[in-house]
Structure 1
Amino acid sequence: MLIEPVELVGVAELGAVHFIAIGGAGMSPIAAMYAALGVPVSGSDQADSPTLAGLAALGIRTHVGHDATQLGDAATVVVSSAIRETNPELVEARRRGLRIWHRSTALAALMLGRTGVAVTGTHGKTTTSAMTAVLLTGAGADPGYVVGSALTATGRAWHLGGGAAFVVEADESDGSFRQYPAAIAVVTNVEADHLDNWGTPAAYAAGFVDFATAPGVVTVVISADDPGAVALTPAIRRAGKHVVTVGESAGADVRLSAIESTQGGSRAVLTADGDRGDLVLAVPGRYNLHNAAAAYAVGRALGLPGAALRAAASGFSGTSRRFEPVAEIAGVRIFDDYAHHPTEVAATLTAARGMVGGGRLVACFQPHLFTRTRDFAGEFGRALALADEIVVLGIYPAREDPLPGVTGRLVADAAQALATGPVHYVETLAGAAPALAAIVRPADLVVTLGAGDVTRVGPELAGLLESIA
């Protein structure tokens, strides 16, 4: 189901606000910002967590479990796309006739009165929005921001900021990216995904055009290299938007050249109007240089000096679950990554390959969603075949119910047909770390991949390796 835009109301006019599933990565930063602005905030989540404790420390009334009585005197209720209509708090909110907003609307309200920057794309939107926040901050702009994953340097995914700019990660999966009042729109790439909501690749692509040509958008930063983005650029130009292209193509407005890997990082020469110099990152991967170029283009659109933006890029140390180091035990390096689309898996493993050295690249992948697994099992197998040894887990369902015949084994079989090394299928998450512990050896680099709870596997593997070291 697609989320349609609604009319925005200023945060000060919302009354008390209750967030259902307040502990989620997409909800907790918004709730924290509302509380920081003096709004009475409450919220509930299905399980206790450090996030709930952190929100409570900000003065937010938090609850474990969902119950209609927990709405209290709320005038506005905020939900995410994952909340089912049967949730007792949502049922009660509808019965009372309260204002019910999707999380994107609650986030969009924070942008009112600011110069909005909305970053979207099938891949890379979390890193690009985080890089944009870091580059603007380093160049002295003090932006507000809400991104999908905590910055490694600060441990936070949000900042109110005192400057004019406000940066958000705009989720295209449910169409909610069309809600944001942005002056600058960023499109990192466009590749078919989330067809359970959009129906067809053409409809999905058209949603990006709607996003980029919204009435308030002045400047669109878009990839000059990605075929899906390039295909949409003429329609965006016809809508009268100022388009800034970024990438390695000869005609890119912000162009990358002389790309190379460094020890744990990457670098390129960046050339743009009136500026040319080194772009040096402390994170690996060609794709991260592209993300940084888009962030740079946003800064230039806001009038910031190119040299200051390039210098600030070196201060970006990553975000949670984006090729994040977990541990190094007994000569085995363990990383964790959020990659959950075939293109993302391939990009992450390609970057990891450049860091392996004399060992092997071991991938542990947990498919996310039954529909995505059904639609892209073959593509996942092709991407995973970039690793030397592969462990595939059962599907993390998230919001979906099972589909007949769709299991993680579809991905494992696809990988087995193409891989040069062993492929193992482990149905349960509990079996993942023991399976990895049995196959890894010194000098190996292990990457856990997926958008579900596979993030637990890395620390569990580290614990097992430490116990037998």
Structure 2
Amino acid sequence: MELSKIIRVYFVGIGGIGMSALARYFAKRGVLVCGYDKTRTNLTETLETEGILISYLDEPGTLPCAFLDNHDDTLIVYTPAIPKDSKILNHFKNKNFSLKKRSEVLGIISKGMFCIAVAGTHGKTTTSSIIAHILKDTGYDCTAFLGGITSNYNSNVLFGANNVVVVEADEYDRSFLTLHPDVAVITSMDADHLDIYGDKSQLEESFHLFADQLKAEGTIYAREGLPIKDAISYAANKTATARAENLRVEGSKFVFDYADSTTQIKDLNLMLPGKHNVENTTVAIAIALQLGINADKIKQAVANFKGVKRRFEYIVNNTKQIYIDDYAHHPEELKACFDAVRQLYPEKKLTVIFQPHLFTRTRDFADEFAKVLSTADELMLLEIYPARELPIEGVNAQFLLDKITMTNKRVCGKDFVIEHVDKTKPELILTVGAGDIDTLIEPLKNTLNHV
């Protein structure tokens, strides 16, 4: 399907962060955009204010007339998270509409463009957002499809006037194999999505296949230690090709130097805490330099990057309380988040509210989750957010809690969390998870602000 011939697009699962970015892109092109999602959220309501018609009832009778019958100029985009028995999805299948996954549509859009694709089991949203911000802030420009709401632009899609596009390359169900990047990044290859891949070796094989998708004259960057052939390595150490050096914490900022074989940039200031975010920034700088962007402009762009919503986002930050929210939902992400908190606030008692995401992930990484969560000072554990999955017998929050070695721990509901925080007023709170734990943000913020 050619991009120029698409005049109607319907999104099945429009409320997803990646899906909504595509919806905004097509709406900006003047295409008729409508969609379905089972849940009304702040994001879907924002899309509605932008003129996109959304239904919350999985019934073909709710479809606009333009999508009742098949047309050559009509595209249906769906997310793998939509159940196979979805009535709307099956309406489109039965009438032989052109159905594409989000990743396939990104492939259509990026075809013929200079594509920078960021892959990895974690780190890709922040890394792609930093790359896009540097290109925007320095005046180089780009279009970008991001897996989070960037704080600088309050959006998950950026529109550019040139031929450059930045995309997240999603490894879930091998979606990233629809892309053919000019520049590729692999941030991590930790075991995840084992419900799809079966074991880590199959996941790693998919990343090698992604690397093979690189265009003939393309460049690939991989975090040092990852087994990707012909990749330029990056890391926060002295042995990587692109490296962060002299890393230190000054106030609430992480400060470091960038170096490679030809360039050195001193005293870069990064608002995002954590060694992992320094490394994400390091590869973004390397790519910007590859594109010929001035080092001083890059340094300025790094300094004013405000981050991504739900990626180490400060909700409350005053002399009495600090409340940080993060999307971390994999043991390695939790560890990186906890390490950053401890580096910034080593003397404060850390209260963690965690919502596990997926029964399979909780089952597969229970010991790893328990090890990280045991390093908190206080833990409130919510029940598992199922997302696309059905329950697995014996796999629940109590199953995970029993493996956690610290004593100040409990399984509880959201109402208890709010009441407990109101009573105890913890000095350092961290909410973490990829489910609907974000519904706690405003209540907790209001509770803490009424100290």
- Tell me the residue number matched to 2:213: 214
Distance across 2 between alignment mates of 1:310 and 1:33: 29
- Tell me the residue number matched to 1:11: 3
Deviates more, 1:244-253 or 1:274-283: 244-253
* TM-score normalised to structure 1 length: 0.90
Distance across 2 between alignment mates of 1:346 and 1:15: 45
- Tell me the residue number matched to 2:411: 425
- Tell me the residue number matched to 2:396: 407
Q: CA deviation at 1:298?
A: 1.8
Distance across 2 between alignment mates of 1:319 and 1:402: 31
CA contact (8 A) 2:359 2:392 kept: yes
CA contact (8 A) 2:187 2:222 kept: yes
Q: CA deviation at 1:439?
A: 4.0
Distance across 2 between alignment mates of 1:457 and 1:411: 21
Given residue 451 of structure 1, which amino acid in structure 2 is its aligned partner? A
Q: CA deviation at 1:111?
A: 1.3
Distance across 1 between alignment mates of 2:425 and 2:343: 18
Deviates more, 1:53-62 or 1:85-94: 53-62
CA contact (8 A) 2:214 2:220 kept: no
Report the CA distance shift for 1:103/1:72 in structure 2 as closer, same or farther (over 3 A): farther
User: Which residue among 10, 24, 27 is the counterpart of 1:32?
Assistant: 24
Q: CA deviation at 1:466?
A: 4.6
Describe the superposition over 1:352-396 as per-residue Cα deviations: whole angstroms up to 9, x where unpaired. 112225431111111000000001111111111222111111101
Describe the superposition over 1:307-334 as per-residue Cα deviations: whole angstroms up to 9, x where unpaired. 3223311111110000111124782211
User: Which residue among 261, 266, 270 is the counterpart of 2:254?
Assistant: 266
Deviates more, 1:100-109 or 1:371-380: 100-109
Q: Percent identity?
A: 30
- Tell me the residue number matched to 1:460: 443
Q: CA deviation at 1:71?
A: 5.5
CA contact (8 A) 2:116 2:182 kept: yes
Q: CA deviation at 1:46?
A: 1.7
Q: CA deviation at 1:114?
A: 1.4
Q: CA deviation at 1:430?
A: 3.0
Describe the superposition over 1:208-258 as per-residue Cα deviations: whole angstroms up to 9, x where unpaired. 11111115261101111xx4x1xx22xx32xxxxx3211134332111111
Distance across 2 between alignment mates of 1:157 and 1:462: 24
Describe the superposition over 1:112-136 as per-residue Cα deviations: whole angstroms up to 9, x where unpaired. 2210011011111110000001111
CA contact (8 A) 2:181 2:214 kept: no
- Tell me the residue number matched to 2:146: 147
Q: CA deviation at 1:85?
A: 1.5
Distance across 2 between alignment mates of 1:466 and 1:116: 44
- Tell me the residue number matched to 1:43: 35
Given residue 463 of structure 1, which amino acid in structure 2 is its aligned partner? N
- Tell me the residue number matched to 1:347: 336
Unpaired runs of 5+ residues, structure 1, are 1-8, 238-242
Report the CA distance shift for 1:215/1:135 in structure 2 as closer, same or farther (over 3 A): closer
Q: Residue 258 of structure 1: SS of its match in structure 2?
A: strand
> Is residue 436 of structure 1 aligned with residue 421 of structure 2?
yes
- Tell me the residue number matched to 2:169: 170
Report the CA distance shift for 1:375/1:439 in structure 2 as closer, same or farther (over 3 A): farther
Distance across 1 between alignment mates of 2:408 and 2:441: 20
Distance across 2 between alignment mates of 1:171 and 1:58: 26
Distance across 2 between alignment mates of 1:458 and 1:73: 38
Deviates more, 1:92-101 or 1:255-264: 255-264
- Tell me the residue number matched to 1:6: none
Report the CA distance shift for 1:72/1:403 in structure 2 as closer, same or farther (over 3 A): same
> Is residue 117 of structure 1 aligned with residue 79 of structure 2?
no
- Tell me the residue number matched to 1:323: 312
- Tell me the residue number matched to 1:58: 50
- Tell me the residue number matched to 2:70: none
> Is residue 332 of structure 1 aligned with residue 321 of structure 2?
yes
Equivalences, count? 442
Distance across 1 between alignment mates of 2:111 and 2:311: 30
Describe the superposition over 1:383-441 as per-residue Cα deviations: whole angstroms up to 9, x where unpaired. 112221111111011110000000112222222x2x3x512221x33332223334444
Unpaired runs of 5+ residues, structure 2, are 68-73
User: Which residue among 244, 263, 269 is the counterpart of 2:232?
Assistant: 244
Distance across 2 between alignment mates of 1:324 and 1:452: 16
Describe the superposition over 1:36-70 as per-residue Cα deviations: whole angstroms up to 9, x where unpaired. 11222111222333433332343323223222131
Deviates more, 1:215-224 or 1:52-61: 52-61
Given residue 58 of structure 1, which amino acid in structure 2 is its aligned partner? E
Q: Residue 207 of structure 2: SS of its match in structure 1?
A: helix
Q: Which segments of structure 1 move beyond 6 Å, counting only runs of 4 or more?
A: none
Distance across 2 between alignment mates of 1:448 and 1:267: 25
Describe the superposition over 1:261-314 as per-residue Cα deviations: whole angstroms up to 9, x where unpaired. 122220111112321122220121111100001111221232323332233111
User: Which residue among 408, 432, 435 is the counterpart of 1:449?
Assistant: 432
Q: CA deviation at 1:109?
A: 1.9
* TM-score normalised to structure 2 length: 0.93
- Tell me the residue number matched to 1:4: none
